[in-house]
Amino acid sequence: MGREIKGKHFSDNDEKVFAERLRNETKILMGLFQNNSFEKFETPMCGLEIEAWLVDQDFLPSPVAEPFLNDLSDPLVVPEISKFNFEINTDPLPLQGNVFNHFHQNIEDTWKKIQLSAKEYNSRALSIGSLPTLRKNMLSLDHLYPNKRYFALNKRILDFRRENEFKLEIKGREEISESFKSIMLEAAATSFQIHLQVPQEKARDFYNCSILASPFMAAICANSPFLFGKDLWSETRIPIFEQSICTKNYKRKEGRWATRVTLGNGYVKESLFELFLDNLDGYPPLLPELLDDEPSRLAHLRLHNGTIWRWNRPILGFNNEGVPHLRIEHRVPPSGPTTTDMVANMAFYIGLTHFLVDHDTPLWDEIPFETARENFYGACKNGLSAQIKWRGKEINIQKAMLDIFIPGAKNALLKLGVHRHCLERYFDDVLVPRALAGQNGSSWQQAFISTHGHRYQELLEEYYSYQEQDIPVHNWKCPTL
C-alpha cells in the first residue's frame, strides 16, 4: 500500500485507464469471493507496523529521515510522510506459542539498530502518538519526505477539496483551530498498526467485531493528548488524522459525509467485498498510477485501497504460492509508550476480536453501528473514564475491561494455542494493572503537565527514559513537584 510511484502528475488518460483497470480488478475480486478462493489455514498469521519519530537532543522533530534511512538500509524500516517520521515493520508470525514474545524481541532488536543509526545524526528515535514539542511551522512541505507518492497525494487531495488549505478543529479539554496548506498535518499522528489474517467465512465477523473492539482499544492504548500546547482528547491522534486528509466523497443517508479516514459507513452485511465495492463507487482514485502487474494481482485495487484509511481496513495479500488472503489492519492504537505496552495492546486486540466473534449471537445485531461509532469517539475523547453503551446498557469502559473483556481476550488466545506464560506476561503483568491504575500514556502525560506546567521537553526526557528501559506505562511514577 505504501509502494512508491513513478510520477507526481497524472493525465486524463491515466485517470480513464486506471478507472477501467480498477473496475476490472473489482470484478476479478468478486469472483474470488464467489468461488471461496482465499487461503485456507489452521493458524492465522499476524503482524504489526510501528510509526515513530526522530527527535533531536531537545526533543524537537529532527528532519533527518532520508540520510538516516539510507544509512540504516533495513528493508523493515521505511519512510513515512515526513522527514522526521519513519515506520518499522516486522515479518508476520503464526498466532501460536510464544508469538508475542517473539514480536517483542524482533522489535527490540530493530529498535537498537535504529537508535544507533539515529545517534549518528545527533538524534533519537521516539514512539509516541503525538509529539508535544511539535510546532505548527514544522508541518511545512519543506519537511515532506521526498517520495513522489507523498507529493502526488498532497496535490491530488488539495485538487479534490478545491481549497488551498486544511482546517483542523478539535474541541476537548481545550480547543484548537488551525489552518494548514498541505497534508503535512498527517505527520503529527503516529500509529501502531496490527494485522490479523482472517478466514473468508469469518471475515465479516472479524471486521464487525474490530469496529466493536475499537472503543476499548482507544481507551486502554491512548497516548496522544497534546498538540501545539493544547490538551485535547485522550487520543487526539484520531481527529488529527481524520482532518489531515479530509475529502468529502458522498453523503450517507444519515446526512454525514463519507470521508477517506473513517471508522466506516456501517457494518459489513455479508462479506468484505462490500468494502471494496464501496471503494470503487464511493471514492475517486487519489493515485491513478498505471501498473504493469497482471490483473490477477489486483495491483490497482490494492493501491486504491491503500488511499482509504478506515480505522479497521480490509487488506488483500498473497502468500508465496500466489494464493490470495484476507487481513484486517487495525489502525486505532497510537505508537508507544513502550515495546511491552505495544505488544500487550496487540495481544489484547487479537484476543478481544476472537472473544467477540465467538459470542453466541452476532453482537452487531444488538449494538447499532451509530452506537458503536458514538462509543468509539467517546473513548477517544475520555479514555478509560468513558461511559459507553453496550447491549442496551451504559457501562464504564475501565470496569468492563477488568470484569469482562481483558479476561475474555486472554481466554480466547489460550484456546488458539498461545502459551499461558506468554499471555501472563502481557495480560496479568501489563493490561490488568494498567486498567486497574487507570494510567495509560495519555493520562501520565496529562498528570505531568498538570503538575509541572507546560514543560514539554522535560516531559519527553522522562518519557524517553522510561521508554528506553521498556518499563510498562502503568509503572511510571505519577509526576510530583
The pLDDT assigned to 251 comes to: 59
Q: Please say whether the dihedral angle defined by the alpha carbons of residues 292, 297, 299 and 300, taken in this order, is positive or negative.
A: positive
Is-contact 208 267, C-beta < 8 A?
yes
The DSSP code for 364 is G
Q: Which of 77-86, 159-168, 285-294, 370-379 has the lowest mean pLDDT?
A: 159-168
- Judged by DSSP in three states, 366 sits in coil
Q: Comparing C-alpha atoms, which of 289, 226, 268 is closest to residue 59?
A: 226
Residue 248 is predicted with a pLDDT of: 63
Residue 1 pLDDT: 41
pLDDT of res. 34: 98
- How far are the Cα atoms of 430, 440, 444 from residue 451, in angstroms, in the given order? 25, 17, 11
Does 477 reside within a domain? no
Give the pLDDT of residue 239. Answer: 97
Residue from 195, 132, 153, 182 nearest 326 by CA: 195
DSSP 3-state of 394: strand
Answer yes or no: is 85 within a domain: yes
Burial 470-479 (b: 16+ CB within 10 A, else e): ebbbbbbeeb
Are 230 and 195 in contact by the 8 Å Cβ rule? The answer is no
Asked whether residue 254 carries a pLDDT value surpassing 90, the answer given is no
Average pLDDT, the chain: 95
Looking at residues 263-291, what average pLDDT do you find? 95
Distance CA 419, CA 404 (A): 21
Would you give the distance in Å from CA 424 to the centre of its chain? 25
Residue 162 has pLDDT above 80, yes or no: no
233 in a domain, yes or no?
yes
Report the CATH number at residue 423.
Answer: 3.30.590.20
Q: Which three cell numbers stand for residue 81?
A: 510522510
Residue 65 has pLDDT above 70, yes or no: yes
pLDDT for the residue 202: 98
Residue 5 lies in a domain: no
pLDDT at 78: 97
Task: Dig out the grid coordinates for 219 from the structure.
Answer: 481507551
Domain residues for 308? 12-471
**Is position 445 within any domain?**
yes
> Which residues are within 8 A (CB) of 1 and not within 5 positions of it... i.e. 6 or more apart?
302, 303, 305, 306, 315
Domains in the chain, number: 1
pLDDT at residue 307 tops 70: yes
Q: Is the pLDDT of residue 2 over 90?
A: no
The answer to whether residue 49 is domain-embedded is yes
Q: What is the pLDDT, as a whole number, of residue 42?
A: 95
How far, in Å, are 42, 182, 279 from residue 97 at the CA level? 14, 45, 37
pLDDT of residue 247: 72
Per-residue pLDDT at 47: 98
Kindly report, residue by residue over 337-375, the tens digit of the pLDDT. 999 999 999 999 999 999 999 999 999 999 999 999 999
* pLDDT at residue 481 tops 70: no
List all residues 6 or more positions away from 308 whose beta carbon is below 8 Å from its beta carbon. Answer: 260, 279, 283
Say if 3 falls within a structural domain. no
Q: How far is CA 219 from CA 200, 291, 345, 375, in A?
A: 29, 40, 11, 10
Alpha-carbon span 399 to 163, nearest angstrom: 45
Does residue 257 surpass a pLDDT of 80?
A: no
Give tens-digit pLDDT for 185-235: 999 999 999 999 999 999 999 999 999 999 999 999 999 999 999 999 999
Task: Determine the average pLDDT of the residues in 261-290.
Answer: 95
Instruction: Look up the pTM and report it.
Output: 0.96
